[in-house]
Structure 1
Amino acid sequence: MAYDDTLLNLKDAQILLVNLEAQNLKQKFPLPNVVLYATHQETKRLFGFVLKTSGGRVDNRQTSICYIFESNNEREKICDSVGLAKQIAFHAELDQKASEKAEEIERVKDKQQKELSKQKQIKKDLQEQSRLIAASSRSNPSGGEGQFVVLRSSQSEDSNLGEDRKKKRESET
């Protein structure tokens, strides 16, 4: 393919080849798919890209496509621009991954802080329960074994008991 006045425009991680004279888009390539780009060593007008295909695989191997272009000028600048764009995209991806990792670390720290707060509250609750148990055992020092509680009986029972006692005394005398 021959492209006079070829321009490389990097937008949204794509390489756009535009014919300036005709002002139309000739070809576009996803930047992440570009695995190799170079100028021809002997023929100064040629440059090309090797792209991995987003389609399938052949014999369990990734397939690639090679595009060769002819340009009257700036073929070196085109390849340099692709290289620069790949570096920028790579660093942007690293920055994004670092940011995501920092966010993940912050989420883990928050989760750990919440768990630590829960554990502190549980410890505080257990201490309060222990304090209450200790206070209740101090108010009842005998421990509860062998104790009898005298319940007051009703008046009718009291009168019956009184009569029973009188009868016992009379029978004893």
Structure 2
Amino acid sequence: MGEKEEKFEFNFSEESDGTKRLLEYLPVLNSIVNSSSTFIIDEIERSIHPLIVKKLISKFSGDELTQGQLIFTTHESNLLDQEIFRPDEIWFAEKNIIGATSLYSLSDFKEHNTIDIRKGYLSGRYGAIPFLGNLNDLNWHKFKMRRSNIYQAG
């Protein structure tokens, strides 16, 4: 509704990516609540506001009537919250120097349930932090944008 309580209709194609993504989740969320289905979603936070994702996840995690299971990957550190998840429900993925990925659980660290795991994760306490290298070595100043939108060495 607008400021004057006017109604506006949008075609689905005019909706934001986040709204489209949420609407696409509806059948999945319904199945999780009402059946013993398990769904896997890659990057659950993609195009959706972090507070909306956290509220949805909190709802399913804390609802004893939910019958199914949701397994998801995320880069959203705000979901690293022990009020939402048990330590054995949080898993980290870390690549080694040759690109092989290791998976391990927060429960491996034996953290107290009052520890701010989000802060610990972002500071590198649990690993699984991307290796950025030295960004100064990228030599961005040597590249110029051409009108063809193709990057070429200057």
User: Do they superpose with TM above 0.5?
Assistant: no
Q: TM-score range with shorter-chain normalisation?
A: under 0.3
| TM-score of the superposed pair, with normalisation by structure 1 | 0.16
* Larger relative helix fraction: 1
| TM-score of the superposed pair, with normalisation by structure 2 | 0.18
Task: Look at both structures and tell me which one has the larger radius of gyration over its CA atoms.
Answer: 1
